[in-house]
């Protein structure tokens, strides 16, 4: 090898070594932002280019001809062609284009196979083919970079064209492609391309940064959410939404102001502490909601998130805020609506119960008094004067009561015409005095719609913890006392009485159990015999209903019959009683027929409420006919007081029953207000003197009343039955005074049907 050739090889080695350094520079640039994959492709392209030039032309004479040199040529070719493909791939990525591996890899392999085949056959042919491929690749890169490019991209495209021409000049200027002109031009052109690609990559990265910055700036400026940055407890940035939220027109006004002016004085210490905490903790994310002040001093409710960020190289607090005043006010309005009465603006039941729970949560709570007050006959005002007047009256009453409430008392409206007063830390005597004062407030009439309206209150007083320890129980106790007070005419009040509350609870339990008991068949009948006066012979029985619970507990008719009438279940119960009585009457009639004895009539008590069914009498007669029972074997007993109160409904059906042979008796005679004219009109066949008339016998006054009643009965051709006969003296005087039948414990207690059958059997002996 000559001296000139060695110098040439050294020069090519030095120039080729420069390309890997440019490639490393591009890779370092790519590591700053790995999203720019075209920079990575170009970096590896230049490294492979330098490797191909070093292994190939620069060190071609270092090895003797043979397999080693052939391998050297293959490595150089792989590096150069690989550099070309990466260069073209980077250009395509730069333009947002991409060729899949299934296209690039086969193209690369085909190119290498053709190059290897030509090189093995003829070195010159392989050299020309390789130069052509490199030239075509450079021109393709130029086309990609030129299309739609700016000045810088056009310059790089022109350099790619120059690079392609340089590649083409190799085989032309030298038979073995080792022309110094080619290498010097290639070094210059590739260096310029490398620098151009570096500048393009940097420019594109900076452009994207600027676009991202502009994008986020636009988002911040257009955001409806307030954004602000604080450093050292001062504003360094605020977006328009934040400025508007606090009443600033420009950022400079917010920056120049003091933050303490925007924070209510009680919250300033906590706000500063949160700021210091956020600055000290890079992971801080603190949600908060608090009152803030606008520049004009108006208070707003702000909901925000404080987080740590770096601002100009120093820690800062990023505030993301929304003005939550409207939602907060709406929530407060809903809360007030839930806890206050819309008409009077007084607290309601929910507020009262919540306040009671709050006060009684502490076992050391001082004594409380709860007054439940209800307007008497307020519904009459609504019905006669209209709801508008009623509402105006309620408003006037609420205003008067609220104006006279002491500081320890809270007035609330629980229902239409019901109020409650909660008095804190009060003794029993003082509470009673306050209830009297409350009632006195209604002595003066209320001027409503041009009228002076007088109203009265009925009130109930319950004390905590004596009467109840639970809020709802205490309220129920006060209402229980109030309902009892309403039975007293005029303005009145009563203290809660646990004993009476137990009675009310028992009444409720009875009412609730009635329906199930009727369905379950827990009712049965007992029969009390009736005897003729004088002869004391059995002349009939009265069916008496009894209720026994499954556990054996007996419920008095004095409890469940009124309960059945209050709840309307008396109709179902009455139907059951009649069915049981008629079924038993049929058995006794069949037995009497088989023994040749007389059948015994049965009397059944019927509530006037059963006569509300216009078909009651007709259905009863149909039931008698279905059982083939003579109508005269059934007697219907109705109470004097109830019959007079429901005469219009009862009288026509009693007349129908009497016309069809069913006897009707007026029960409990002497306790009502029936007149002689009314007795003459009633279609009855018997008077049953109440036990209150028989019990005092033989006292002269009682005897006179019984004698007069018997005289009336004889005059109207009625049987006169003495109830409640318990002594022989009572029986003898009742007989002497004109009673025609006797009934009571002296002659026979209520008994099962079998007991009556025993009496009937005794008569046959």
Residues 710 and 752 in one domain: yes
Distance (Å, whole) CA 370 – CA 460: 8
Q: How far does Cα 717 stand from its chain's mean position? A: 71
**pLDDT score of 1 more than 60:** no
Distance (Å, whole) CA 456 – CA 446: 11
Q: How many CB atoms lie within 10 A of CB 294?
A: 15
In a domain, 196, yes or no: yes
**pLDDT score of 765 more than 60:** no
Which ranges in 340-461 belong to alpha helices (H)?
A: 349-360, 378-385, 387-403, 428-440
pLDDT value of residue 110? 78
Distance (Å, whole) CA 537 – CA 421: 65
Angle value at C-alpha 703, between 701 and 707, nearest 5 degrees: 120
Average pLDDT, the chain: 83
Backbone angles phi, psi at 26, to 5 degrees: -65, -40
End-to-end CA distance of the chain: 165
Residues 483 and 517 in one domain: no
Q: How far does Cα 55 stand from its chain's mean position? A: 79
Looking at 496, 519, 553, the residue that finishes a domain is 496
Which residues, 6+ apart, have CB-to-CB distance to 222 below 8 Å?
none
Residues 284 and 154 in one domain: no
- Would you give the DSSP letter of residue 57? I
Residues 691 and 755 in one domain: yes
Residues 59 and 91 in one domain: yes
Given strand 285-293, what is the order of strands in its sheet? Answer: 234-238, 226-231, 314-323, 299-311, 285-293
Distance (Å, whole) CA 552 – CA 430: 47
Distance (Å, whole) CA 708 – CA 243: 101
pLDDT value of residue 2? 47
Range among 92-101, 138-147, 505-514 with highest mean pLDDT value: 138-147
Residue range of the domain that includes 29: 3-208
Buried b / exposed e across 598-620, counting CB within 10 Å, b at 16+?
A: ebbbbbbbbbbbbbeeeebbeeb
- Domain with residue 287: its CATH number is 3.30.450.20
In a domain, 215, yes or no: no
Burial status of residue 204 (CB atoms within 10 A of its CB: 0-12, 13-18, 19 or more): middle
Residues 557 and 647 in one domain: yes
Tens digit of each residue's pLDDT (9 = 90 or more) over 497-512: 776 655 566 666 777 7
Kindly report which listed range (11-15, 96-100, 352-356, 565-569) carries the lowest average pLDDT score.
Answer: 11-15
Residues 546 and 652 in one domain: yes
In a domain, 183, yes or no: yes
Tens digit of each residue's pLDDT (9 = 90 or more) over 108-121: 777 777 777 766 66
Distance (Å, whole) CA 197 – CA 191: 10
- Would you give the DSSP letter of residue 490? S
Tens digit of each residue's pLDDT (9 = 90 or more) over 689-735: 999 899 999 898 889 999 999 998 998 889 999 999 999 999 999 99
Distance (Å, whole) CA 655 – CA 648: 12
Q: Are 730 and 712 in contact (CB under 8 A)?
A: no
Q: Are 456 and 490 in contact (CB under 8 A)?
A: yes
DSSP 3-state of 444: coil
In a domain, 213, yes or no: no
CA distances from 605 to 312, 577, 636, 652 (A): 99, 9, 6, 18
Which ranges in 281-348 belong to alpha helices (H)?
A: 325-339
Percent of the chain with pLDDT over 70: 90
Query: Before 698, cis peptide (omega within 30)?
Result: yes
In a domain, 504, yes or no: no
pLDDT band at 62 (very low <50, low <70, confident <90, very high): low
- The pTM of this model reads 0.52
Kindly report which listed range (325-339, 351-365, 578-592) carries the lowest average pLDDT score.
Answer: 325-339
pLDDT value of residue 611? 85
HSE-CB of 15 using CA atoms within 13 angstroms: 22
Residues 416 and 461 in one domain: yes
In a domain, 358, yes or no: yes
Q: Are 114 and 148 in contact (CB under 8 A)?
A: no
CA distances from 231 to 237, 273, 311, 316, 567 (A): 9, 13, 8, 5, 75
Into how many domains does the chain fold?
Answer: 4
Kindly report which listed range (159-168, 575-584, 713-722) carries the lowest average pLDDT score.
Answer: 159-168
**pLDDT score of 69 more than 60:** yes
Backbone angles phi, psi at 346, to 5 degrees: -90, 160
Residues 236 and 202 in one domain: no
DSSP 3-state of 541: strand
Residues 110 and 227 in one domain: no
Burial status of residue 283 (CB atoms within 10 A of its CB: 0-12, 13-18, 19 or more): exposed
pLDDT band at 56 (very low <50, low <70, confident <90, very high): low
In a domain, 79, yes or no: yes
pLDDT value of residue 515? 81
Kindly report which listed range (358-367, 440-449, 681-690, 748-757) carries the lowest average pLDDT score.
Answer: 358-367
Looking at 496, 521, 540, the residue that finishes a domain is 496
- Would you give the DSSP letter of residue 340? B
Residues 88 and 172 in one domain: yes
Tens digit of each residue's pLDDT (9 = 90 or more) over 385-431: 888 888 899 999 989 998 888 888 889 988 888 999 998 888 888 98
Q: Are 339 and 312 in contact (CB under 8 A)?
A: no
Looking at 181, 208, 235, the residue that finishes a domain is 208
User: Which residues are bridge partners to 634 per DSSP?
Assistant: 602
Residues 721 and 577 in one domain: yes
In a domain, 291, yes or no: yes
- 69, two tokens: 């040199």
**pLDDT score of 3 more than 60:** no
Higher model confidence: residue 621 or residue 11? 621
């Amino acid at each position: 090898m000559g001296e000139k050739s060695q110098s040439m090889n050294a020069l090519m080695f030095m120039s080729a070594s420069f390309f890997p350094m440019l490639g490393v520079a591009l890779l370092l640039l790519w590591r700053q932002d790995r999203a720019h994959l075209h920079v990575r492709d170009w970096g590896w392209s230049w490294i492979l280019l330098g490797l191909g030039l070093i292994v190939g032309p620069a060190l071609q004479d270092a090895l003797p001809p043979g397999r080693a040199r052939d391998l050297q040529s293959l490595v150089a070719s792989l590096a150069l062609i690989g550099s070309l493909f990466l260069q073209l791939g980077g250009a395509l990525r730069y333009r947002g284009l991409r060729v899949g591996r299934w296209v690039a890899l086969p193209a690369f392999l085909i190119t290498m196979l053709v190059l290897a085949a030509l090189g093995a056959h003829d070195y010159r042919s392989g050299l020309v083919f390789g130069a052509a491929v490199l030239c075509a690749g450079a021109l393709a890169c130029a086309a990609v970079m030129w299309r739609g490019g700016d000045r810088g991209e056009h310059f790089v495209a022109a350099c790619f064209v120059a690079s392609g021409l340089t590649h083409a000049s190799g085989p032309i200027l030298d038979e073995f492609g080792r022309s110094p002109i080619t290498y010097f031009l290639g070094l210059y052109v590739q260096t310029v391309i490398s620098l151009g690609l570096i500048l393009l990559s940097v420019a594109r990265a900076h452009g994207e940064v600027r676009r991202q910055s502009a994008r986020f700036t636009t988002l911040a400026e257009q955001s409806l959410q307030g954004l602000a940055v604080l450093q050292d407890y001062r504003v360094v940035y605020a977006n328009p939404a934040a400025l508007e939220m606090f009443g600033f027109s420009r950022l400079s006004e917010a920056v120049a102001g003091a933050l303490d002016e925007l924070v209510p004085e009680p919250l300033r210490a906590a706000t500063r502490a949160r700021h210091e905490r956020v600055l000290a903790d890079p992971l801080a994310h603190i949600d908060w909601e608090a009152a803030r002040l606008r520049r004009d001093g108006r208070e707003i409710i702000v909901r925000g998130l404080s987080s740590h960020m770096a601002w100009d190289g120093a820690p800062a607090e990023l505030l993301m805020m929304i003005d939550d005043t409207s939602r907060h006010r709406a929530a407060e309005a809903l809360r007030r609506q839930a806890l206050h009465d819309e008409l009077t603006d007084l607290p309601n039941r929910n507020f009262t119960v919540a306040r009671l729970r709050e006060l009684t949560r502490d076992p050391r709570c001082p004594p409380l008094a709860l007054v439940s007050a209800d307007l008497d006959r307020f519904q009459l005002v609504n019905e006669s004067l209209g709801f508008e007047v009623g509402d105006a009256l309620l408003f006037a009453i609420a205003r008067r009561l609220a104006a006279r409430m002491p500081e320890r008392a809270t007035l609330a409206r629980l229902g239409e015409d019901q109020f409650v007063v909660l008095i804190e830390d009060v003794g029993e005597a003082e509470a009673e005095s306050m209830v009297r004062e409350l009632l006195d407030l209604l002595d003066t009439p209320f001027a409503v719609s041009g009228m002076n309206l007088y109203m009265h209150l009925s009130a109930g007083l319950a004390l905590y913890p004596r009467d109840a320890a639970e809020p709802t129980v205490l309220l129920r106790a006060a209402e229980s006392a109030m309902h009892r007070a309403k039975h007293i005419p005029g303005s009145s009040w009563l203290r809660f009485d646990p004993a009476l509350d137990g009675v009310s609870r028992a009444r409720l339990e009875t009412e609730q159990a009635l329906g199930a008991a009727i369905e379950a068949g827990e009712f049965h009948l007992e029969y009390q015999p009736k005897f003729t006066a004088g002869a004391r012979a059995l002349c009939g029985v009265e069916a008496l209903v009894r209720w026994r619970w499954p556990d054996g507990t007996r419920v008095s008719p004095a409890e469940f019959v009124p309960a059945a009438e209050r709840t309307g279940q008396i109709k179902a119960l009455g139907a059951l009683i009649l069915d049981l009585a008629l079924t038993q009457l049929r058995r006794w009639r069949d037995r009497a027929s088989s023994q040749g004895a007389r059948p015994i009539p049965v009397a059944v008590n019927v509530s006037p409420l059963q006569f509300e069914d216009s078909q009651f009498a007709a259905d009863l007669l149909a039931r008698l006919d279905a059982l083939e029972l003579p109508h005269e074997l059934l007697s219907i007993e109705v109470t004097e007081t109830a019959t007079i109160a429901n005469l219009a409904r009862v009288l026509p059906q009693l007349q129908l029953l009497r016309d069809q042979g069913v006897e009707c008796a007026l029960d409990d005679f002497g306790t009502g207000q029936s007149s002689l004219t009314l007795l003459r009109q009633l279609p009855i066949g018997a008077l049953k003197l109440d036990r209150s008339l028989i019990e005092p016998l033989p006292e002269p006054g009682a005897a006179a009343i019984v004698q007069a009643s018997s005289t009336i009965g004889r005059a109207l051709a009625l049987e006169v039955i003495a109830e409640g006969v318990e002594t022989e003296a009572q029986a003898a005087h009742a007989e002497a005074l004109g009673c025609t039948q006797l009934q009571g414990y002296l002659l026979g207690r209520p008994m099962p049907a079998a007991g009556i059958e025993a009496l009937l059997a005794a008569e046959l002996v």
